[in-house]
Structure formats: structure tokens, C-alpha cells
């Protein structure tokens, strides 16, 4: 069969092309240009070669921020994924409870990031916040603005509150797509609850869970607004994750060159992880 | 009441950045603003040429010769180019972080690795 060749469709790509050029390609190119130069403003740049890259790659500050970032992302994945699956498993499968649960679950996802940060900031303040005050009344020495452990606890708790629902909704969608025949077969075989989970539900959820892990990894790896509003990266630099540290460097110190080099390194890490997940998803697709 | 920690207050020298020139709406000095240097321009031209070469290659041998390579991944030509470019970024960064000087050795390693990727991955 001969296909008719019609190149008019390219015209429809032009708006997207312009959009991508201006919101992705041009800024990215500019960042690459900045990363090799030094500036003090007024569009005057001097060539610095690979100096900023060397400086960033060897600086303890960057290593610490990267370490904190991976630790944070690791912790929230370890909490949110199992917790999300567990909640999805306990959610009702029919009746009015389904809508109630789904609406309740979606609520945190609809709140803007900075509002989440502000809410948790007030909620956790040791003097007046409900959480902070209660914890102190119970005898815990809790103050997230001064103690590193408390700052981490609050940040992780906030993220778990904000984003576990996403994992729940995805897992629930995965669970609902399992045919009843599988459960009936399991029942006939006398399979235990664990066996049903391990051999029916988990394999069937594999695809959505890969997406859930990818989304949660990316969001938490690029997290900025919530910890910025909640702790501002403090106390000290204890919760200064990569993006917070980056903005401090770029805007706080106006070190555009090093900040550009750091964002490129950051970008390559994100790109690598994306690629790994993309391949995992493709492999899942194939096995199906 | 929210107490704003002092580290959130950022005093910037923005006044000096914007004051000097009076500009019209379309007079935004695209090239100066993007801070181009010939080195970065060469880099992006190289990337663009890679993409053009891929298009020409696709015209000549369509389908992208998909195969299952060393890593057990199904890759096409485009995937292999992406792997080569991304790994060359990491090779250069690792070289800068660990060794620091004579960067062109990292470039040679990257090219060698790219050849391996295109052959066997």
C-alpha cells in the first residue's frame, strides 16, 4: 500500500517547537554558557573554562547537599511506597466509601506547594503550632527551627502527608484493574493473603508502581518550595537540598557561574535516573 | 505569625543589573543576554550536527537498526546516541572531579566509549 506523503503536518509542530525553544532550549543553552564564565552583572562575562565544574565537583558543600538529597529521597520512597500500597489495599472496593476515600486522598495533592509549606510551618511551630505544642506537652524536646533531627522529621512528615496519596491513587488504580478470576483462582487454591499479595497483586501493580516511584523520585529529588517555606534549608544547612542550595548560590550569592555548573551536574543526574526508569518501564511493557 | 529566618531575606544587587541601558520592547539583545562564547557555540553546533547526521542516517537506513545489546537493553541508533552523549557528560565530569587537568583525555575516552556503544550496546 502506498502512503500519501503530506508534509503539512509539520506546520502543526511549529507552536510546540517555538514553546520548547523558549522554555527549554534557550534557557538550557544560556545555563551552559554561564557555566563557563564569570559575571558581575551588566551582561559582562569573562571566560573561566572548566573552573566552576572543578570547584563544584570538589566542594564539600555540593557533596553534602547531594548526600542530603539522596537521603531525603531514599527516606520518603521507603515510607511512601509501602505505605501507599498498604492504604490502597485497605481502601473499600465498592460503595460510597470509594468516592469518600478517593476525594479525601486527592485533597493533599490539590494544595499548592507553598501553602503546604506554610501550613506545616505554622502546624509545627513549638509555641503555637498544634503539632509542635502537643509534642512538647508530651515531653518531647521538639523544635524544628533549631534541631536538625526535628527539622528532618517535620520535612519528611510533610512530604509523606502531601504525596503518599499519589502512590495510593496509582496503586488503587492498579489493584482495580485485576480481574476477579485471579482472586477466585487463588481462593480455590487456598492461597494465603500474603500469597495473593505477592503473586497476584504486586505483579499486577508493577507498572503503576514503576511510574509512582519515578514520579516520587523526581518530585522529591527536585523538591524546593515546601522545605524552603518550612525550614528555609535550616537549621544551618541541615535541610538545604540540592535545589535550595542551588538557589542560595545563584540568587543569594549571585554566583551565576558556579550555580550554572551545579545545575548542569544536577540536570545530568536527573537525566540519568529518567533514562534508567524509562528503560525499566519499557521492559515492563514488553513483559506484558 | 510566621517568623522569617534571616537567611530567607536576600539582598540582591539587582539595581545595578538593570539600570544602564534604556531599551525598546524588541531590543533585547538576544546574543549578549545568552552570553555566547565560541566554545559553547561549537559544542551546540556539534550537537545539532549529530542530530542532522542521525536524520540523514535514518533516511539512508530506515528503522534505526534496533537490537538487544550488552546491557540487555533494546536500543536503536537514537538510544545509542543518547547513551553516548550522556555517558560522555559523566566521563568528563568524573575526569574534572578526579583528575582535573588535560581534559582532552576524557574526550578521547568518551569517543572510544561512544564507538563501543554504537558497536555493541
Chain B residue nearest residue A122, CA to CA: B2
User: So what's the pLDDT on residue B100?
Assistant: 81
CA distance A267 to B90: 11
From A242-251, B13-22, B98-107, the region with the lowest mean pLDDT: B13-22
> Residue A173's closest CA among A215, A217, A204?
A204
Q: Tally Cβ neighbours within 10 Å of residue A69.
A: 22
User: So what's the pLDDT on residue A1?
Assistant: 58
User: So what's the pLDDT on residue A220?
Assistant: 92
Helices within B61-76 (DSSP H only): none
**For the residues B56-62, what does the mean pLDDT come to?**
89
Tens-digit pLDDT profile for residues A67-78:
999 999 999 999
Tens-digit pLDDT profile for residues A179-223:
889 889 988 988 888 988 888 888 888 888 989 999 999 999 999
> Between the CA of residue A136 and those of A20, A65, A230, what are the distances in Å?
50, 30, 19
What global pTM score does this model have?
0.83
Q: Is A54 close to B96, i.e. CB distance below 8 A?
A: yes
Q: Find the domain containing A70 and state its range.
A: 61-287
- Under 8 Å CB pairs connecting chains A and B tally to 80
Q: What is the mean pLDDT of chain A?
A: 89
Does residue A18 fall inside a structural domain? no
Q: How far is B102 from chain A (nearest CA, A)?
A: 11
Supply the ipTM of this predicted assembly. Answer: 0.81
Put simply, whether B5 touches A (Cβ < 8 Å) is yes
Higher pLDDT, A116 or A40: A116
What residue segments make up the domains of chain B, in order of their start?
A: 22-120
HEC string of A46-66 equals: EECCCHHHHHHHHCHHHHHHH
| Dihedral sign computed on CA atoms, order A163, A164, A170, A172 | negative
Does residue A221 fall inside a structural domain? yes
Put simply, whether B17 touches A (Cβ < 8 Å) is yes
Question: For residue A102, what is the domain's CATH number?
Answer: 1.10.3720.10
The band of B21, judged by pLDDT with boundaries at 50, 70 and 90, is low
CA distance A76 to A166: 13
HEC string of A118-158 equals: HHHHHHHCCCCCHHHHHHHHCCCCCCCCCCHHHHHHHHHHH
Q: Under a CB-based contact definition with an 8 Å cutoff, are residues B103 and B95 in contact?
A: yes
- Give helix B77-98 / helix A256-287 axis angle, nearest 10°: 140
**For the residues A231-259, what does the mean pLDDT come to?**
89
**In chain A, which residues have their Cβ closer than 8 Å to the Cβ of B20?**
42
Q: How far is B112 from chain A (nearest CA, A)?
A: 20
Does residue A41 fall inside a structural domain? no
For B80, counting Cβ atoms within 10 Å of its Cβ (0-12 exposed, 13-18 middle, 19+ buried), the class is buried
Q: Is A41 close to B43, i.e. CB distance below 8 A?
A: no
- E strand spans, chain A: 37-39, 45-47
Query: Between the CA atoms of B104, B109, B114 and B115, what dihedral angle is there, to the nearest 10 degrees?
Result: 110
Q: Under a CB-based contact definition with an 8 Å cutoff, are residues B36 and A37 in contact?
A: no
> Residue B35's closest CA among A36, A246, A261?
A36
Q: How far is B56 from chain A (nearest CA, A)?
A: 17
Instruction: Give the contacts of B77 (CB within 8 A, at least 6 positions apart).
Output: B54, B57, B58, B64, B65, B118
Indicate the number of domains in chain A. 1
Put simply, whether B102 touches A (Cβ < 8 Å) is no
Q: What is the mean pLDDT of chain B?
A: 79
CA distance A209 to A168: 10
Does residue A8 fall inside a structural domain? no
Q: Is A45 helix (H, G, I), strand (E, B) or coil?
A: strand
> Residue A63's closest CA among A237, A273, A252, A213?
A237
Higher pLDDT, B22 or A133: A133
- Looking at residue A241, the DSSP 8-state letter turns out to be -
Does residue A1 fall inside a structural domain? no
CA distance A207 to A171: 9
Instruction: Give the contacts of B41 (CB within 8 A, at least 6 positions apart).
Output: none
Amino acid at each position: 500500500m502506498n502512503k500519501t506523503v503530506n508534509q503539512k503536518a509539520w506546520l502543526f509542530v511549529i507552536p510546540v517547537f517555538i514553546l520548547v525553544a523558549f522554555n527549554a532550549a534557550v534557557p538550557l543553552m544560556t545555563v551552559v554558557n554561564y557555566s563557563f564564565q564569570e559575571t558581575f552583572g551588566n551582561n559582562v562575562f569573562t571566560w573561566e573554562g572548566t573552573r566552576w565544574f572543578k570547584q563544584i565537583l570538589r566542594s564539600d558543600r555540593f557533596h553534602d547537599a547531594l548526600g542530603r538529597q539522596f537521603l531525603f529521597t531514599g527516606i520518603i520512597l521507603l515510607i511512601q511506597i509501602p505505605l501507599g500500597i498498604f492504604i490502597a489495599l485497605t481502601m473499600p472496593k465498592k460503595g460510597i466509601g470509594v468516592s469518600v476515600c478517593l476525594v479525601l486522598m486527592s485533597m493533599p495533592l490539590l494544595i499548592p506547594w507553598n501553602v503546604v509549606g506554610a501550613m506545616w510551618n505554622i502546624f509545627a511551630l513549638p509555641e503555637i503550632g498544634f503539632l509542635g505544642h502537643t509534642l512538647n506537652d508530651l515531653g518531647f524536646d521538639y523544635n524544628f527551627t533549631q534541631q536538625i533531627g526535628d527539622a528532618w522529621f517535620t520535612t519528611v512528615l510533610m512530604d509523606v502527608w502531601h504525596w503518599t496519596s499519589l502512590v495510593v491513587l496509582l496503586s488503587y488504580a492498579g489493584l482495580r484493574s485485576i480481574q476477579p478470576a485471579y482472586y477466585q483462582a487463588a481462593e480455590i487454591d487456598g492461597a494465603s493473603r500474603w500469597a495473593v499479595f505477592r503473586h497476584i497483586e504486586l505483579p499486577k501493580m508493577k507498572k503503576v508502581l514503576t511510574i509512582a516511584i519515578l514520579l516520587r523520585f523526581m518530585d522529591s529529588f527536585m523538591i524546593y518550595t515546601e522545605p524552603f517555606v518550612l525550614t528555609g534549608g535550616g537549621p544551618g544547612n541541615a535541610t538545604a537540598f540540592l535545589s535550595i542550595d542551588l538557589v542560595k548560590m545563584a540568587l543569594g550569592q549571585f554566583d551565576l557561574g558556579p550555580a550554572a555548573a551545579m545545575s548542569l551536574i544536577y540536570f545530568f543526574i536527573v537525566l540519568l535516573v529518567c533514562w534508567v526508569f524509562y528503560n525499566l518501564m519499557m521492559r515492563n511493557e514488553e513483559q506484558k | 505569625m510566621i517568623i522569617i529566618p534571616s537567611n530567607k531575606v536576600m539582598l540582591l544587587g539587582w539595581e545595578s543589573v538593570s539600570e544602564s541601558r534604556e531599551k525598546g520592547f524588541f531590543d533585547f539583545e538576544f546574543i549578549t543576554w545568552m552570553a555566547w562564547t565560541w566554545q559553547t557555540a561549537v559544542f551546540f553546533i556539534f550537537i545539532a550536527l549529530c542530530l542532522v547526521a542521525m536524520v540523514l542516517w535514518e533516511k539512508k537506513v530506515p528503522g534505526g537498526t534496533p537490537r538487544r545489546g550488552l546491557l540487555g537493553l533494546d536500543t536503536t541508533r537514537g538510544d545509542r546516541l543518547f547513551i553516548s552523549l550522556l555517558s560522555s557528560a559523566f566521563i568528563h565530569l568524573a575526569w574534572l572531579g578526579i583528575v582535573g587537568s588535560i581534559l582532552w583525555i576524557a574526550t578521547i575516552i568518551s569517543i572510544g566509549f561512544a564507538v563501543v556503544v554504537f558497536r555493541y550496546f
